[in-house]
């Protein structure tokens, strides 16, 4: 049995995520996890909330709550929304967990033993108005690279350039907005990534078939300008993982915490340990190559802005430790999903957010549209017109209409059981051949994590059933040859079960409704398509499912467009 480890980028704790965040990591990761399980893989799918650093402290301050209380509340909110979108995590953890504290401190110690940690004095922005040092994300200003006026002191979210707070033009405090800033010296621990440059370069070159987006970003960071730079891994913050060496405070680092981008990826491992502690499993067999992880295939999903940290920063931690940790085998990166002529933005409250989406439509509508338009090769754009058109065409007209026509016709002419009689002929054989070809292509695209191509192939599989039904016209055949009509409908009812199995990674609720309507728990993958369309034997009872997908009318679409017309969400 193949073992597949899947992680999606862990979302910041500061508020509810928008649809661009969802399609950028968690949703495609869930698609692949569901598919891998359906193909018989043993899957470990891990995600968590990223609870340390500036975003947590600022959000808690704005909410008027202690940061620990705020994080606990928002973890539950994000967990509930993940459940609402049917994200099938094996564990949804927290980067503030005891397991992550222990592992982060362990890695720092191992890196120090390897000579890769160095204490350095660095220049850091101090806010006189706030009476404190400002870690990088506490400083906002204009990006010197692209001119974006809301860039943060670690990275510009507009052009993705890595920054230092002192790089910003017209910097200001993200806490108070004060521009009364000065640069002072402070001491921090630095990970000497530059010493790992050649090893990271060779490791990236050894990866087979990584997306161009992934490798191009990694190589740019390695070779452009001055190349890979050493990185500070501690910060002057109150909330975070204390900088410890063993059971004692790290000398000279008292009162400091580890940098969020050092501890956050370690939560993938810690989250698996959290799962093991809760379920009695063995987390090391997923992560330690000396404990069985050598045969694990590890796949990561993330937006392009996270690629540098996962192709360089996190691997530097794992490789630099000198221990046999599992590193990623395939890293699927995504471009941005834009919103109606602009950008989705959590910080600016622009776009449709996960809770709002579920208020107006069930999750399958969103899952299908987002996945079938996944921004794999370039930025893509959400518009309400495109959403309405594709939902109505693909989900209502093609899939939903097929299920409705077949089950209602059978109930009216043969009753609520699979009819017997008649034989399949050339048309049915041709359909099975077509489906076999298309299902094998669907599998190839899913195996390669080519999401838009897989969605297009799945839709073509639905269309093939509709075209067969239209040409066979059992409602007309019934008038002259009821037994032949029974054979046609028998095949069509079996197609509903087949469509449920194939579609479940994309639209799990609709798939469950189709299987429930067919009154079967047989969800075996169709390795043999001819056998798969004979599972429901004559006499097998079924019920007519409720409408799978309601159409979106123009007035409703217009109302949503006006409601989400770009105003800031508070």
The response to whether 71 counts as a known ligand-binding position is: no
Q: Virtual CA dihedral for 453, 454, 459, 463, nearest 10 degrees?
A: 90
Question: Could you give the count of Cα atoms lying within 13 Å of 481 in the half-sphere of its Cβ?
Answer: 12
Nearest Cα neighbor of 152 from 53, 233, 244, 79 is 53
Tell me how far CA of residue 538 lies from CA of 294, 418, 474, 541, in angstroms.
Answer: 47, 5, 17, 9
The response to whether 156 counts as a known ligand-binding position is: yes
Tell me how far CA of residue 237 lies from CA of 133, 178, 184, 245, 257, in angstroms.
Answer: 8, 19, 16, 18, 6
Distance of CA 315 to the CA centre of its chain: 20
249-254 own/partner pairs: CB under 8 Å, 24+ apart: 250/108, 250/189, 252/119, 252/187, 253/119, 253/187, 253/188, 253/189
First to last CA, the chain: 48
The response to whether 410 counts as a known ligand-binding position is: no
Round the CA-based radius of gyration of the chain to a whole number and report it.
27
Name the strand (E) or helix (H) holding 187.
strand 181-191
Q: How far apart are alpha carbons 164 and 154 in whole angstroms?
A: 5
The response to whether 146 counts as a known ligand-binding position is: yes
Beta-sheet strands, E only, within 361-423: 380-382
Q: How far apart are alpha carbons 23 and 373 in whole angstroms?
A: 9
The response to whether 143 counts as a known ligand-binding position is: yes
Name the strand (E) or helix (H) holding 47.
strand 42-49
Give the residue ranges of the annotated binding site: 143, 146, 156, 159, 346
Residues placed in the known binding site for ATP:
346
Q: Which residues are annotated as a binding site for Zn(2+)?
A: 143, 146, 156, 159
């Amino acid at each position: 049995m193949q073992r597949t480890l899947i992680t999606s980028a862990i979302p910041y704790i500061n508020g509810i995520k928008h649809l661009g965040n969802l399609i950028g990591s968690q949703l495609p990761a869930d698609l692949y996890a569901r598919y891998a399980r359906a193909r018989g893989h043993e899957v470990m799918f891990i995600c968590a909330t990223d609870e340390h650093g500036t975003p947590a402290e600022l959000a808690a301050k704005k909410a008027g709550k202690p940061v620990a209380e705020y994080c606990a509340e928002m973890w539950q909110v994000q967990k509930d929304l993940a459940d609402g979108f049917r994200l099938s995590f094996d564990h949804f953890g927290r980067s503030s967990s005891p397991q992550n504290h222990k592992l982060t401190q362990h890695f720092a110690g191992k890196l120090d033993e390897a000579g890769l940690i160095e204490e350095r004095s660095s220049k850091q922005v101090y806010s006189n108005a706030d009476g404190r040092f400002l870690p990088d994300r506490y400083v906002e200003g204009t990006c010197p690279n692209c001119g974006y006026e809301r860039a943060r002191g670690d990275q510009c979210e507009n052009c993705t350039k890595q920054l230092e707070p002192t790089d910003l033009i017209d910097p200001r405090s993200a806490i108070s907005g004060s521009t009364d800033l000065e640069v002072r010296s402070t001491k921090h621990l630095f990970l000497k990534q530059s010493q790992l440059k050649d090893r990271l370069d060779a490791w990236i070159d050894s990866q087979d078939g990584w997306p161009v987006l992934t490798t191009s970003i990694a190589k740019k960071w390695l070779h452009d300008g001055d190349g890979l730079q050493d990185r500070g891994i501690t910060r002057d913050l109150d909330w975070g993982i204390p900088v410890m060496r063993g059971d004692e405070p790290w000398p000279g680092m008292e009162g400091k915490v580890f940098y969020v981008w050092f501890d956050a990826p370690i939560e993938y491992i810690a989250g698996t340990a959290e799962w093991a502690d809760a379920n009695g499993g063995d987390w090391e067999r997923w992560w330690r190559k000396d404990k069985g992880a050598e045969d694990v295939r590890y796949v990561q999903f993330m937006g392009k802005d996270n690629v540098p940290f996962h192709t360089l920063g996190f691997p530097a931690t794992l490789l630099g430790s000198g221990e046999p940790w599992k590193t990623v085998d395939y890293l699927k990166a995504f471009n941005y999903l834009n919103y109606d002529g602009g950008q989705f933005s959590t910080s600016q409250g622009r776009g449709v957010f996960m809770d709002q989406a579920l208020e107006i439509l069930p999750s399958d509508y969103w899952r299908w549209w987002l996945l079938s338009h996944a921004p794999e090769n370039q930025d893509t754009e959400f518009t309400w017109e495109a959403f309405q058109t594709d939902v109505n065409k693909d989900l209502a007209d093609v899939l939903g209409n097929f299920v409705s026509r077949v089950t209602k016709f059978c109930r009216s002419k043969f009753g609520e059981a699979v009819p017997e009689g008649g034989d399949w002929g050339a048309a049915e054989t041709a359909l099975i051949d077509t489906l076999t070809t298309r299902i094998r292509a669907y599998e190839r695209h899913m195996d390669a994590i080519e999401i838009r191509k897989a969605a297009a192939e799945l839709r073509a599989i639905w269309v093939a059933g509709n075209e067969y039904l239209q040409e066979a016209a059992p409602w007309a055949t019934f008038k002259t040859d009821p037994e032949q009509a029974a054979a046609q409908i028998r095949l069509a009812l079996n197609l509903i079960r087949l469509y449920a199995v194939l579609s479940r990674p994309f639209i799990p609720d609709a798939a469950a409704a189709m299987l429930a309507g067919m009154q079967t728990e047989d969800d075996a993958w169709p390795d043999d398509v001819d056998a798969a369309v004979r599972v429901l034997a004559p006499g097998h009872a079924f019920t007519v499912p409720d409408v799978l997908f309601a159409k979106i009318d123009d007035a409703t679409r217009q109302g949503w467009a006006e409601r989400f017309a770009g105003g800031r969400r508070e």
